[in-house]
Amino acid sequence: MDTSIETALMMKDLLKLPLCGLEGFLNLVFRLIFLLMRLSLQKLA
């Protein structure tokens, strides 16, 4: 099984989320990561 899928399913079990809740949570995490990357790149420029 793919590592990212295994990690997502492990988070689902740990946080006791339904699949739709897990999807929303992971979308939020990736948005925050993208925002932090953009901010750090702006500081370098």
Question: Which stretches of the chain drop beneath a pLDDT of 70?
Answer: 1
The DSSP annotation for 1-45 comes to --HHHHHHHHHHHHHT--HHHHHHHHHHHHHHHHHHHHHHHHHH-
Q: How far apart are CA 23 and CA 8, in angstroms?
A: 9
Q: How far apart are CA 17 and CA 1, in angstroms?
A: 21
Residue 44 is predicted with a pLDDT of 82
Residue 1 is predicted with a pLDDT of 63
Place of tokens 């990212």: 4
What pTM did the predictor assign?
A: 0.73
